[in-house]
Amino acid sequence: MDPLTTWKSVPEVNQMGYEEFVTVFGNVVEHCSLVAAAVWKFRPFKDVRHLHEEICIFIDQLPTAGGEGILRLHPDLAGRAAREATLTSESNREQRAAGLTDLTHEEKMQLTRMNDSYRSKFGFPFVICARRNKKEAIMEGIRSRLKNSPEVELHKGLGEVKKICYLRLLDLVEHEGVESRL
Which residues are designated catalytic? Answer: 74
Cα separations in angstroms, 107 against 98, 100, 118: 14, 9, 16
| Residues linked to residue 173 through DSSP beta bridges, in sequence order | 8
What b/e string do you get for 12-43 counting C-beta neighbours within 10 Å, with b at 16 or more? Answer: ebeebeeeebbebbbbbbbebebbbbbbbeeb
Q: How many Å apart are CA 109 and CA 115, to the nearest integer?
A: 10
